[in-house]
């Protein structure tokens, strides 16, 4: 088992790009770097193991199909869903859109309520907004207490209204790191017969066991934020919901019988019916290797590293003059640290950081509703992962101090 304790430098060494680059990479909430094991697994899949999935009877095709299905099982085991309840998509974004279009929209009526939180990434806001626009339902927004992660008693009472059809909520904000308390919200939503989707894009790496314990109807995430490749996402969905859903894409590999002319076709079994087109074999194998990597990391040590590095970043940043922290100290352990400078625009700060080879993100982070509730147009985000070092944070501090000298 890879150990983080006393061996953080070794862990950094597992990431070829982090090892070789001069850049202080503080943008892991956007996408994570890949360890050697993931790169090797993808390379093997592209060379020795390469063959079409579910489309050939020859040996290579059979073993590619088994390897692909083994990752489905791995995802199911990770989140405590059955293998048939795992659908491979392109991304968390596609997974959420699929649920909004194929599950929710057909059952939504004027006057129904769909809930999201104010913390949502656009990927977990716009699909529901569109579903509401199409049906005359109302999109309602839960406020989350930054310190406790709880919703207010009044809003929980409203959530318990029989008009509530769906709650779609993040496991962790990609901007302020806050982690809503999901369990009580799920209980309330279920008590009124509503379904719950949890957007785990930001928290899968360090919250997999907590997510598995939740009684969520849908859990979604993306490979590229858990040390895997881009272009692969997961939709974990309860079987009885999948039975209700029409495929959102149609084409090869998802149909048993094609009806003549406009006659109805017969779809393949679940989950194949939701994976039209040639499967993303290399992406799925890369995802499997990434999840292997994550599962071999001792959860407690990952949590301790993120707590140490996140608290260090939070503490040192808050010592700087003119800085207003947006991530509360209580969420520093997520490693997602956002802030604004009272007198320098985030884009100017981002540019100075770039000039110092410090990779941070400036902007609204695809979370405009959150920016509106914070009453700011944009902010700067430094986001850490298991390979982030104190030296990376110190480089950020130097860049910010230089910005102060330049602009003030
Ligand atoms: N949800 C959250 C919380 C995110 O941070 C992101 C990506 N920034 C997404 C969803 C969407 O992920 P993807 O772009 O991989 O579909």
Core vs surface per residue 237-273: b (16+ CB within 10 A) or e: beeeebeebebbeeeebbbeeeeeeeeeeebbebbbb
Residue 224 has what DSSP assignment?
A: G
Q: Are residues 230 and 356 in the same domain?
A: no
Residues carrying an active site annotation: 366
- Check pocket membership of 327 for ligand 1, CB cut-off 6 A: no
> Quick check: helix, strand or coil at residue 327?
coil
* Shortest-distance atom of ligand 1 to CA 171: 3
pLDDT tens track for 125-184: 999 999 999 999 999 999 999 999 999 999 999 999 999 999 999 999 999 999 999 999
pLDDT tens track for 234-261: 999 999 999 999 999 999 999 999 999 9
Q: Are residues 282 and 304 in the same domain?
A: no
Instruction: Give domain status of residue 3, yes or no.
Output: no
Which residue from 124, 205, 222 has its CB within 8 A of the most atoms of ligand 1, so it is best to mutate?
Answer: 222
- Check pocket membership of 186 for ligand 1, CB cut-off 6 A: no
Q: Are residues 218 and 187 in the same domain?
A: yes
Q: Are residues 200 and 335 in the same domain?
A: no
* The token pair that represents 249 in the structure block: 């894409």
Q: Are residues 291 and 304 in the same domain?
A: no
Q: Are residues 228 and 138 in the same domain?
A: yes
- Check pocket membership of 112 for ligand 1, CB cut-off 6 A: no
* The token pair that represents 85 in the structure block: 């309840």
* DSSP letters spanning 337-378: EEEEESSS-HHHHHHHHHHTTEE-EEE-TT-HHHHHHHT-S-
Q: What is residue 350's predicted lDDT score, i.e. its pLDDT? A: 97
Q: What pTM did the predictor assign?
A: 0.97
Q: CA–CA separation, 380 vs 370, rounded Å?
A: 14
Q: How far is the CA of 381 from the centre of ligand 1 (A)?
A: 15
Q: Are residues 290 and 370 in the same domain?
A: no
pLDDT over 50 (residue 3): no
- Check pocket membership of 201 for ligand 1, CB cut-off 6 A: yes
Instruction: Give domain status of residue 393, yes or no.
Output: yes
Q: Are residues 211 and 252 in the same domain?
A: yes
* Shortest-distance atom of ligand 1 to CA 222: 15
CATH number at residue 140: 3.40.640.10
Q: Are residues 278 and 325 in the same domain?
A: no
Decide which of 295, 314, 344 is a domain's last residue: 295
* Shortest-distance atom of ligand 1 to CA 224: 15
List the domain range (segments joined by +) for residue 346: 11-30+300-407
Report the DSSP pairing between strands 24-25 and 358-359. Answer: parallel
Nearest CA-CA partner of 353 in 404, 396, 406: 396
> Which residues have a Cβ under 8 Å from the Cβ of 20 and sit 6 or more positions away?
none
> Quick check: helix, strand or coil at residue 398?
helix
Q: Are residues 233 and 343 in the same domain?
A: no
Q: Are residues 281 and 327 in the same domain?
A: no
Instruction: Give domain status of residue 1, yes or no.
Output: no
Instruction: Give domain status of residue 77, yes or no.
Output: yes
Q: Are residues 272 and 308 in the same domain?
A: no
């Amino acid at each position: 088992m890879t150990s983080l304790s006393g061996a953080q430098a070794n862990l950094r060494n597992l990431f070829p790009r982090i090892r070789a680059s001069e850049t202080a990479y503080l943008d892991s909430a956007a996408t994570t770097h890949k360890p050697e094991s993931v790169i090797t697994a993808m390379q093997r899949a592209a060379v020795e193991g390469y063959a079409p999935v579910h489309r050939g009877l020859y040996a290579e095709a059979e073993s590619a199909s088994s390897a692909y299905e083994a990752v489905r099982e791995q995802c199911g085991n990770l989140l405590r869903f059955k293998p048939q309840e795992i659908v491979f998509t392109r991304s968390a974004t596609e997974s959420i859109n699929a649920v909004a279009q194929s599950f929710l929209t057909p059952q939504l009526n004027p006057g129904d309520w769909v809930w999201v939180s104010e913390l949502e990434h656009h990927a977990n806001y716009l699909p529901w907004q569109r579903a509401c626009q199409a049906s005359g339902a109302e999109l309602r927004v839960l406020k989350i207490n930054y310190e406790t992660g709880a919703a207010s008693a009044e809003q929980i009472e409203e959530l318990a209204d029989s008009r509530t059809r769906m709650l779609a909520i993040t496991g962790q904000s990609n901007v302020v790191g806050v982690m809503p308390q999901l369990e009580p919200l799920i209980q309330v939503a279920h008590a009124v017969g509503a379904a719950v989707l949890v957007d785990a894009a930001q928290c899968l790496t360090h919250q997999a066991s907590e997510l598995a314990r939740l009684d969520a109807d849908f859990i979604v995430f993306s490979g590229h934020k858990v040390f895997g490749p881009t272009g692969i996402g997961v939709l974990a969905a309860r079987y009885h919901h999948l039975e209700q859903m029409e495929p959102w894409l149609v084409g090869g590999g998802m149909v048993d019988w094609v009806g003549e002319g406009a006659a109805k076709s017969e779809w393949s079994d679940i989950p194949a019916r939701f994976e039209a087109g040639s499967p993303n074999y290399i992406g799925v194998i890369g995802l499997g290797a990434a999840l292997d990597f994550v599962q071999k990391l001792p959860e407690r040590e990952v949590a301790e590293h993120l707590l140490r590095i996140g608290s260090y970043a939070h503490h040192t940043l808050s010592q700087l003059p003119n800085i207003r922290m947006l991530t509360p100290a209580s969420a520093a352990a997520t490693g997602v640290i956002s802030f604004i400078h009272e007198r320098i625009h985030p884009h100017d700060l981002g540019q100075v950081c770039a000039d110092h080879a410090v990779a941070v993100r400036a902007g609204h982070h695809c979370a405009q509703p959150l920016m509106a509730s914070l009453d700011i147009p944009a902010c700067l985000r430094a986001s850490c992962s298991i390979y982030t070092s104190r030296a990376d944070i110190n480089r950020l501090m130097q860049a910010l101090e230089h910005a102060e000298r330049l602009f003030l």
